[in-house]
Structure 1
Amino acid sequence: MTETSFRWSQIIIPAFGPSLLFGIANGAILPVIALSAIALGASHAMSGVIAALIGFGSLVCNIPAAMITARFGERRSLIGASAVSVLALSLCILAKHPALLALGVLLMGMATSVFYLARQTFLMEVAPVHMRARAFSTLGGTQRIGMFIGPFGAAGLMHFVGLDGAYLVAIAALVTAGALAFALPELQPRAESGAADAPRPRMAAIAVEHKRVFMTLGLGCLLIGAMRASRQVAIPLWADAIGLSPTATAIIFGCVSSIDMLVFYPAGKIMDHFGRLWVALPCSLMLAASLLALPLTATMAPFVAVCLLMGLGNGIGSGIVMTLGADAAPANARTEFLGIWRLIADMGTSAGPFVLAGLTALISLAAGIAATGAFGLVSAYIFWRAMPHGTQHAHTAD
């Protein structure tokens, strides 16, 4: 597909339809995994570990996911990921022991890694460079919308069939995503001179050759991932610390998610027109400021204001990690590069809540939240130094 022939209508359903459905599936099951483990007799601590396996599965499967996608292509990888996800959730429904539930959750996390890498590779191939950031911010936005819809759909069915209702909603969404991928033709990638004929390097060679971009922009994205994951823990914990009810906390969290979903497309447009730094820097600084300010709040009004700022900072960063990865990826090894890139970003997502929990245990909750906020100052400095200050793309930093 050439840049002049590109139309949004050509990719809306193939790229964003499965992503929305996969987001619905994840949104449906994430709130109930720990509850399912408790219902099977697991302790609260073990239930938390089982719930964390979905993120762990995604983390450890990033490199294998890159190899799978590079070998079988985006479309077949997406179909396979949907099939494995359905199998995984079926195991969760049939589980009579926490160990079987844990296996199902782990498989779901691994399939999620393949799915998102296939979507990112597909979109990087079909979207022209001058519209890349809008494409990736929209991809991130559709995932957020799906995650927002999923719990409501699950709640409706759980009213009638219990916890299994959440898994049934997720299975229905995943079957639809797989069928959609099967029915739609695979779009032809944009032609790039020399890319098709160039040899595909090994993963280790890619890591060495592009170590500078991994250690600069990759580290900045890792820190953003840590803040994003930590905020999901910090908001309810601090709400409880200042005496807010669970209902009030849930409403505030919903408002934060709403802001998060509203600004993804403008963020992509800013990146395309003015450069990536214009979003990466505000995203880092807003997340930093809100996390640093959160422990200073003691009543409802300032707490809500800080949380809304946090939602805005996270929302304008929609797609920034994927966009920077796509900019830096070499033409002859895009999928392999993105596997390493996602591994780095997911390390931040996985480590963030553990850093917060460790500092809370050692010092205090306020200190733990403030320390995660400091990550944003470091990432902002990295982006300021490593990224072009104009409309050039991140590969110039490599």
Structure 2
Amino acid sequence: MTDHSPAALPWRQLAASIYLPTTLSFIGFGAIVPLVPLTARALGASVAEAALVVALMGIGTLIGALPAGVIANRFGEKRSLVGAMLLDAVCLLVCAAASSEWVLAGAVFVIGLSGAMLSLARQSYLTVAVPLEYRARALSTLGGVFRVGNLVGPLLGAAVVSLWGLQPAYLVAAGTSLIAVAVTLALPDLPEHEPSAGEQPVRMLTVLREHSRTYATAGLGASALMLVRASRDALLPLWCEQISLDAATTSLIFALSSGIDMTLFYVGGSVMDRFGRRWVSVPSMVIMGLCFALLPLAHSTLAVAMFAAALGLGNGISAGVVMTIGSDFSPRLGRPQFLAGWRLTTGIGRAAGPLLITAVAAVAPLGLAAVAIGAIGFAGAGWLWRWLPSTLGPG
């Protein structure tokens, strides 16, 4: 039975020490993401090599998921957060000083590893520190912070690059990580679990095996949700290009979608806390599935903008829902290891979206790829309705 005993720490008092450093670190991360391929090209990489360097960050995040659970269980969430942000700052300094694309590639890969640790430790910390009745709002706010970083970070990066060039942008990002470390040190320590007599240390493979059914049921549905959400970033710009919209119009349409997305995270969290996880995860999948299924009918700027806005609605209300569901199912013993497996399961879904679009578009019209993503959205909605409990937590 999953433990949901109320935590001793009042979550509103954690706002500055958990959300502020998260915002800072993700602004820094958002600032350098668009610059990585440009830096690789400036160091002599080909277009294909630059794309590989960018992909290494996502690969590092996936590979780092399970080790992150082991580290968080061994050292605790707070120390893991501090260590990961320090490692992040060091890697950003290496990026700034990189003399070849392969040095840059190695640093970017390790940034992906540290990102896995940061995401898992923050989720695990809030799962323990926040009472169940506020959990969805707390984790949805965390999801909203990610979106703020993705919006503000590139703007900051663009300003720094325009004034001083590429390398200083990495130094600014390293600085935000170091400030985040200082703020994170103010986090209260979580109560430590006291092992009972005869209790054995929890091992990663044991936790994964014991909860394999959860990964195959609720985890599969959450993975489908991540796949559909990730598909927006790949499919929407491609469809704009397909109907001959220029780059500026495409950027404005995407900004509209992202702006709506960023404003709705707390609404989704409030609905989940009051009515249950089904009432956000299922509608968001239906909304996004419908948008993708009908996207091939959009042949004007206004029509695409309307679908983009609706995708922002579906994506925005579902901010934090995957983390919330994972936290609901997480056990008291072995929580970091369980969440590591959960993040790996859903991370595979996120990576699969753009790959599926690429595979379908290689042999069929792009509109068919959109319809395929829409079908996954509808199927995922039904799957989540079947496997998520109707009450708060897994019941």
- Tell me whether the two structures share a fold, i.e. TM-score over 0.5: yes
Residue in structure 2 matched with residue 259 of structure 1 by the alignment: 260
- CA–CA separation in structure 2 for the residues paired with 1:107 and 1:350: 18
Task: Extract unaligned runs of 5+ from structure 2.
Answer: none
What is the letter of the counterpart of residue 321 of structure 1? V
Q: Which residue of 2 aligns with 1:393?
A: 393
Give the aligned partner of residue 11 of structure 1: 14
Alignment of 1:117-266 (within 5 A): 117-182=120-185, 184-189=186-191, 199-266=200-267
Q: CA offsets per residue over residues 212-241 of structure 1, 9 Å max, x none?
A: 110011011111111222210111111111
Could you say what secondary structure the match of 1:332 adopts?
coil
1:96 to partner: Cα distance: 2.1
Once the two structures are TM-superposed, the CA of residue 339 in structure 1 deviates from its matched residue by 0.4
| Structure 1 runs (4+) greater than 6 angstroms displaced | 193-197
1:179 offset after TM fit, Å?
A: 1.5
Backbone CA RMSD of aligned residues: 2.0
Give 1:9 shift: 3.2
Decide whether aligned partners of structure 1 residues 367 and 85 sit closer, same or farther in structure 2, where only a CA change above 3 A counts: same
Q: Identify which of 74, 78, 83 aligns with 1:80.
A: 83
Asked if structure 2 preserves the Cα contact closer than 8 Å seen for 1:67 and 1:336, the reply is yes
Paired residues for 1:263-342 under 5 Å: 263-342=264-343
**Structure 1 residue corresponding to 2:24, chosen from 16, 21, 24:** 21
1:52-131 aligned within 5 A: 52-131=55-134
What residue identity is the alignment partner of 1:311?
Answer: G
Secondary structure at 2:380's aligned position in 1? Answer: helix
Amino acid at match of 2:361: T
Residues 266-298 of structure 1: per-residue CA shift (max 9 Å, x gap): 111110110100001011111111111222211
* Residues 18 and 184 in structure 2, CA contact (< 8 A), matched pair in contact too: no
1:125–1:190 Cα contact (<8 Å) kept: no
Could you list the per-position Cα deviations for residues 180-200 of structure 1 after superposition, in whole angstroms to 9, with x for gaps in the alignment? Answer: 122x04243498x98999544
On the 8 A contact 2:7/2:128 being kept in 1, the answer is no
Distance 1:295 1:26 in 2: 34
* Residues 66 and 340 in structure 2, CA contact (< 8 A), matched pair in contact too: yes
What is the TM-score when the length of structure 1 is the normalising length? 0.94
Aligned equivalents of 1:265, 1:196: Cα separation in 2: 42
List per-residue Cα deviations over 1:17-64 (Å, max 9, x = no partner): 121112102210111111111222222222112111111100000000
Q: Contact 1:279/1:320 (CA < 8 Å) preserved in 2?
A: yes
Alpha-carbon spacing, 1:392–1:181, altered in 2? closer, same or farther (3 Å): closer
- d(CA) in 1 for partners of 2:196, 2:308: 45
Give, in angstroms, the shift of residue 119 of structure 1.
0.4
> Percent identity over the alignment?
37
Matched-pair contact (CA < 8 Å) for 2:278–2:384:
yes
Deviation of 1:374 after TM superposition, in Å, equals 1.8
Per-residue Cα deviation, 1:67-121 (whole angstroms, up to 9, x for no partner): 1111111111111111111121122112222111111110110000001111011
Report the TM-score when normalising by structure 2: 0.94
- Conserved? CA contact 1:141–1:318, under 8 Å: yes
Relative to structure 1, is the Cα distance of residues 341 and 46 closer, same or farther in structure 2, using a 3 angstrom cutoff?
Answer: same
Q: Distance in 2 between matches of 1:140 and 1:147?
A: 11
Whole-angstrom CA distance in 2 between matches of 1:226 and 1:277: 18
**How far 1:122 moved relative to its partner?**
0.6
1: CA distance, partners of 2:47 / 2:388: 43
Aligned CA distance change for structure 1 residues 154 and 74 (closer, same or farther; 3 Å) = same
In structure 1, distance between residues paired with 2:8 and 2:206? 35
Contact 2:61/2:114, CA 8 A, preserved across alignment: yes
Residues 139-193 of structure 1 deviation map (CA, whole Å, 9 limit, x = unaligned):
11111112211011111111112222332231121111111122x04243498x9
CA distance in 2, matches of 1:30, 1:256: 20
CA distance in 1, matches of 2:187, 2:392: 33
Distance 1:189 1:143, change over 3 A: farther
Q: Which ranges in structure 1 are unaligned for 5 or more consecutive residues?
A: none
190 and 280 in structure 1: CA distance in 2 versus 1, 3 angstrom threshold: farther
Verify the 8 A CA contact 1:227 1:375 in the aligned structure 2. yes
One-letter code of the match for 2:15? I
SS where residue 41 of structure 1 aligns?
A: coil
Q: Is the 8 A contact 2:96 2:168 kept in 1?
A: no
